[in-house]
Amino acid sequence: MFRYPTRLANARSSQHDSPPKLGRRAGREISTIQQVSGQSSVKTVPRRTPPVLEFHSSAKWKSYFEASKANTKLIVIDFTASWCVPCRFMEPVINEFAAKYTDVEFTKIDVDELMDVAQEFGVQAMPTLVLIKKGRVIDKVTGVRKEELQKKIEKHRTSYIGA
């Protein structure tokens, strides 16, 4: 039985000289960094898109975290490290979601800068995305996993947290 080759979800012809190879392995390529200019960890975003909030001091994080307990907003914390290359694959995903899910707050913490916070949330690998609501951890994604993160954001952005 002849199986027709499955094309990759994203067109790769612009990036590769050779045609898509025969084979049934179609994996969706992570949004490529080639589209992101510059190398700052927070991409320069158009004015109307909510930014990803970066925290560089434990004190600032603590006060933000305490304040967040007063409302039911979903907060996504992106734990990364400046030297973490896999984390770079997640950046465009976070920026995309920050633009799309405007009712969700996206934050970013460097595990070396805020070691105590990273330890508090049990971060052992990067990137780790922690979803919190009213000061409680309600979900977690470890590694560059776009679909799983999207599913969890959509699930929790409007879910009710009981008393």
With binding defined as CB under 8 A, does residue 8 bind another protein? Answer: yes
Q: Is the peptide bond before 5 cis (omega within 30 degrees of 0)?
A: no
Phi, psi of 27 (to 5 degrees): -115, 140
Sequence letter at residue 31: S
Whether 86 contacts 143, CB under 8 Å: yes
Mark the segment that binds another protein (CB under 8 A) among 62-70, 101-109, 119-127, 131-139: 119-127
160 is a contact residue toward another protein (CB under 8 A): no
- The 53-92 contact track toward another protein, x by CB under 8 A, reads ----------------------------x-xxxxxxx---
Q: Which conformational region is residue 69 in: left (phi greater than 0), alpha (psi within -120 to 50 degrees), or beta?
A: alpha
What residues line the site for another protein (CB under 8 A)? 2-3, 6, 8-9, 12, 15-16, 18, 21-30, 32-34, 81, 83-89, 124-127, 142-148, 151
